[in-house]
Amino acid sequence: MSATMVAGHLPIETLLAWWLHETDAADTDAVDEHLLRCDACGETLDALVGLADGVRAAFKAGLVGAIASGDFIARLASRGHRVREYRLPCNGGVDCTVAPDDELLVAHLETPLQDVDRLDAVVTLSFAPDVQHRLEDVPFDAQAGEVLWLPKFDLIRNAPAHTAEVTLLSVDADAAHELGRYTFRHQPWPGG
């Protein structure tokens, strides 16, 4: 972890780590000091803190990533943050990677959401196929017709080639039924 500046501002990864109390003492001081004088990074932090508690818990849980709103992504991009985006049709897959200067990875998972009351997501990773990570009651915008998925970024950045599968489930009192299944075929950045 290093509080290296990108274009004079704090990388999202650093802000996230600071917010989750994962920065060391030196980085914590550097972030504290930067936030005192930089409104732009303060607003980015507000956007992060504005995410639901469930999202924060998901980030802490490590592997599973988080789900965010379109507003949040648009605000980050409008401030010049480098956001890599992939769009997956329902039951689709994508070859994906992370460039060295990317700050955030966002996948748009297209799915019909009009009749969904509660949405869960189940994640499996090819290097631990027997482990299912389940996110319960994840936030979504029924009108958007898509779920915004943020993989755990610093983990993905350092990951070897692997496949991740995300299954979206509509859950009601009686049962859960599958809305869509999405496959990410990840390759490390060449030479990175």
Could you give the C-alpha distances from 168 to 91, 92, 122, 158, 159, in angstroms and in order? 10, 12, 7, 25, 23
Order of strands, edge to edge, in the sheet holding 66-68?
A: 66-68, 146-150, 104-110, 83-88
Between residues 38 and 171, which has the closer beta carbon with respect to Zn ion?
38
Q: How far is the CB of 156 from Zn ion (least distance, A)?
A: 24
* Amino acid at site 116: V
Pairwise CA distance, residues 108 & 141, whole Å: 12
Q: How far is the CB of 101 from Zn ion (least distance, A)?
A: 17
Between residues 40 and 74, which has the closer beta carbon with respect to Zn ion?
40
Q: What x/- string results for residues 38 through 77 when contact with Zn ion is judged by CB under 5 A?
A: x-xx------------------------------------
Q: State yes or no: residue 107 binds Zn ion (CB under 5 A).
A: no
Range in contact with Zn ion (rule: CB under 5 A) among 33-41, 117-125, 152-160, 182-190: 33-41
Which DSSP symbol is given to 73? H
Between residues 15 and 135, which has the closer beta carbon with respect to Zn ion?
15
Could you give the C-alpha distances from 166 to 3, 97, 120, in angstroms and in order? 31, 16, 10
Which residues contact Zn ion by CB under 5 A?
9, 38, 40-41
